[in-house]
Amino acid sequence: MRRALLLAFLLTGCSQEHERIAPQSQIAPGDIQSGYEFLQPETQALQDDEFANPGFLWVDKGRALFNQDPDSGAPACASCHGDDSHPFSKAAAHYPAVDASSGQLVNLEARINLCRARYQDLAPLEYESDGLLGLTAYLAYLAQGEPISVKTDGPAKKYYDAGEDYFFQRKGQFNLACSQCHNEHWGDKLRGDTISQGHGNAFPAYRMEWQTFGSLHRRLRDCDSGIRAEPLESGSETYTAVELYLAKRAEGLPMESPGVRR
Q: Residues 107, 110, 136, 217: is their CA dihedral positive or negative?
A: positive
Residues with a catalytic annotation lie at 223
Contact call for residues 128 and 234 (beta carbons, < 8 A): yes
What does residue 212 show for φ and ψ, rounded to 5 degrees? -165, 180
Tell me whether the omega of the peptide bond preceding residue 204 falls within 30 degrees of 0, making it cis.
Answer: yes
DSSP code at position 150? -
Kindly provide the residue ranges of all beta strands, DSSP E only, lying in 92-159, ordered along the sequence: 97-98, 105-106
Bridge partners (DSSP) listed for residue 261: 207
Helix (H) or strand (E) holding 10: helix 2-11
Contact call for residues 26 and 183 (beta carbons, < 8 A): yes
d(CA 152, CA 157): 5
Exposure string of 171-205, with b = 16+ CB inside 10 Å and e = fewer, is: bbeebbbbbbbbbbbbeeeeeeeebbbbbbbbbbb
**Cα torsion through 21, 215, 59, 109, rounded to 10:** -90
